[in-house]
Structure 1
Amino acid sequence: MKVHYFITSEGKEVANSNCNHADNDVTSCPAEAPPVFSFEGTPQKNEPVVIQGNNKNPATEKLERVRKWSITRYKCTRQDDRQRYDHMTKLAQTLANQLTQFSVTQKTLGDAFADLSVKTPTLHVEFGLNAEAQRFLSKSNETLTTAMNVFTSDMNTLVNKTIEDTMINAKQYEAGRIQYDAYRAQRDFQNQREQYQRIREDLSVKVKLLQENKVKVLHQQLFLLHSAVAAHSLSCQNFLQKNVQQVSERLTSPAVDAPSWLEES
């Protein structure tokens, strides 16, 4: 018996034999099998035949995937940069606030040393040196705090204004691209194309300015911050070395101490 194999629109193989209508057996033949292709032969196992219909251009689909990936990748990269810079700015602001509190505590401690220096004549010099040291450190911390505040202010401008403005342009670019695709086949195609190109040029300018501004601001602010920390540390070191030298000279110099109450008695 000869067997015919049919491939349906779902990609399935259907076997059909020669039907015998002489016996008037309706069930012996399937009703009008919808073959797409037919061939005679022996069925081969594990080798399904699948025919797919696709009217889309592969190059167009690939270009569309690349475009969507580029926009998504750009937005994610800028958002990651913004999150990192924002985290760094918050840490710098926290340090500036802590330095402010530290400076206030040092000034208060210096005032306490100065008060004890006046009320304790026998330890007047020692309390006085510590009071002067704490006041100097407090003033130096105020200078460092000012530098930290300038750094955080410029970083806030970069994060919350410059990068945010670029992200807004990126969203406008994406919306313009959608409108451009929607109006591509309509009469106002040229207007939408010009608007899309204008937004794309604005985005290119903003991205270039953002990159230049980011590098310039970070280069300058990081250098100024490092210089402020170095100057603060150096001034504190020089002052404390001078202070220790004065204390050492006083302790090693032969001085006549006041007689104790046992000697007076």
Structure 2
Amino acid sequence: MDGDLSEGGMQTVALNENAVNSESQPLAGGGASLQNAMSNSGISSPSSPSQPIPVSQNRPTSLPQYPHNPGSSYTSPANANSPAMSPIPLATPTTPGSENGAAVVRSGAGKMESIKTWSISTYKCTKQLISEKLGKSSRTIDTELEGQIESLRDTQRKYSQILRLARALSSHFYHVVQTQQQLGDAFADLAQKSPELQEEFIYNAETQRTLTKNGETLLGALNFFVSSVNTLCNKTMEDTLLTIKLFESARIEYDAYRSDLEMLSQQPRSEVSSIKLEEAQRNFSMYKAHYDRLRADVAIKLKFLDENKVKVMHKQLLLFHNAVSAYFSGNQTALEATLKQFNIKLRSPNTAPPSWLEQSVPETFQTIFGTLNSPTK
């Protein structure tokens, strides 16, 4: 063997089953052969030869298979009778985020179903509109309600015209008031520089200042009139018209599904046609209820709008008449009384709002601050 190793060769030892089995069996032959083998190999013998030598066992070539039913609890055979071991149920493993993934899938399915329903409804409504324009389909008409709706639209157009003209009048009159104020300042300045015409300039300066003051009062009444008419025309009426638009859309949907139901009811009876007919009946009932609800809402809003319009315009037209008449007749007392009657507070365009300190201090300190801020003569 030493010769083989020195020459660079390698000796192969073949192990068969008998050799393996012989190694795994206990050494039976007394202690003599064991002592000789140990002495030859240079291993000292144990102090007590009577102790047993551990026996090597065969290595299993495959894992043991234990029968079990799917979904039942699995128990290790080695510890089957151990009370400390609890059975572990075999369940489908869940990965992190699987619930979120399922929620995303459901949300996507809901969106696809919503898009599908919207597409079908849009197609039916477009088909119904084209059929109505071509005269191939009938439409539901409420004569009384349609007349009220048309009257409201005509009223809004006329009120929009009044609003446009009132704004123009207010804008032009504002420039008139500004011009009168500048003219009064110019007259007052010339009164100081022209002694020979001082009395005439002072007369005209006082007149223009009075006209400016009354003009600002009338301008406040005009602005209040414009604001009220704008609210009535562009908010109250527009809200009712928005409900009318929803009602007209519901009417088109109702007529579309009504036409669909009438067409399916005329087809020959079969299992498929019966299912489609039941679905069309359900859709028709749903859209009919929606149409009836919006028709009732439109009728109520038209009624309240008419009452509100009469109250608002009665007040605003009275204000407009009294203010304009008092201004152009030169009745300053009647003009101020008109603004007090309608609770209109005027604010001079050149007056700055009071500071927070002036609003918070007592009246005595306000008097002091007013005295300090007054120009010295």
Smaller-chain TM-score bracket: 0.5 to 0.7
> 1:117 touches 1:123 (CA, 8 Å); kept in 2?
yes
Aligned to 2:298: 203
Q: Deviations over 1:49-99 (max 9, x none)?
A: xxxxxxxxxxxxxxx678166665444332221111111111110010111
Aligned to 1:100: 174
Q: Aligned with 1:67: secondary structure?
A: coil
Q: Deviations over 1:107-147 (max 9, x none)?
A: 11111111111112222221111100001101111111111
Instruction: Identify the range of structure 1 (173-182 vs 135-144) with the bigger mean alpha-carbon deviation.
Output: 173-182
Structural mapping, 1:1-265, within 5 Å: 67=141, 73-184=147-258, 185=261, 186-235=281-330
> 2:170 touches 2:223 (CA, 8 Å); kept in 1?
yes
Query: Relative to total residues, which structure has the larger strand share, 1 or 2?
Result: 1
Counterpart-to-counterpart distance in 2, 1:182 and 1:152: 43
> 2:140 touches 2:255 (CA, 8 Å); kept in 1?
no
The verdict on how the C-alpha distance between 1:82 and 1:146 changes in structure 2, with shifts beyond 3 A counting, is: same
Counterpart-to-counterpart distance in 2, 1:79 and 1:193: 25
The AA in structure 2 aligned to 1:122 is E
How far off its partner does 1:236 sit?
5.6
How far off its partner does 1:174 sit?
1.8
How far off its partner does 1:192 sit?
2.6
> 1:183 touches 1:189 (CA, 8 Å); kept in 2?
yes
Counterpart-to-counterpart distance in 1, 2:228 and 2:156: 14
Counterpart-to-counterpart distance in 2, 1:181 and 1:214: 33
Counterpart-to-counterpart distance in 2, 1:71 and 1:227: 37
The AA in structure 1 aligned to 2:230 is N
The AA in structure 2 aligned to 1:218 is M
Counterpart-to-counterpart distance in 2, 1:132 and 1:86: 39
Q: Deviations over 1:133-168 (max 9, x none)?
A: 001101111111111111111111111111111122
Aligned to 2:14: none
Return the index of the structure with the highest Cα Rg.
Answer: 2
Question: Which runs of at least 4 in structure 1 moved beyond 6 Å after TM superposition?
Answer: none
Counterpart-to-counterpart distance in 2, 1:179 and 1:168: 17
Counterpart-to-counterpart distance in 1, 2:244 and 2:293: 13
Counterpart-to-counterpart distance in 2, 1:70 and 1:154: 29
Counterpart-to-counterpart distance in 2, 1:206 and 1:118: 64
The AA in structure 2 aligned to 1:178 is I
How far off its partner does 1:234 sit?
3.3
> 1:71 touches 1:174 (CA, 8 Å); kept in 2?
no
Gaps of at least 5 residues in structure 1 are 1-63, 239-265
Counterpart-to-counterpart distance in 1, 2:142 and 2:291: 16
The AA in structure 1 aligned to 2:173 is L
Counterpart-to-counterpart distance in 1, 2:166 and 2:282: 55
> 2:184 touches 2:206 (CA, 8 Å); kept in 1?
yes
How far off its partner does 1:207 sit?
0.1
CA RMSD of aligned residues (A): 2.5
Q: Aligned with 2:282: secondary structure?
A: coil
> 2:240 touches 2:298 (CA, 8 Å); kept in 1?
yes
Instruction: Identify the range of structure 1 (218-227 vs 171-180) with the bigger mean alpha-carbon deviation.
Output: 171-180
Gaps of at least 5 residues in structure 2 are 1-137, 262-280, 334-377
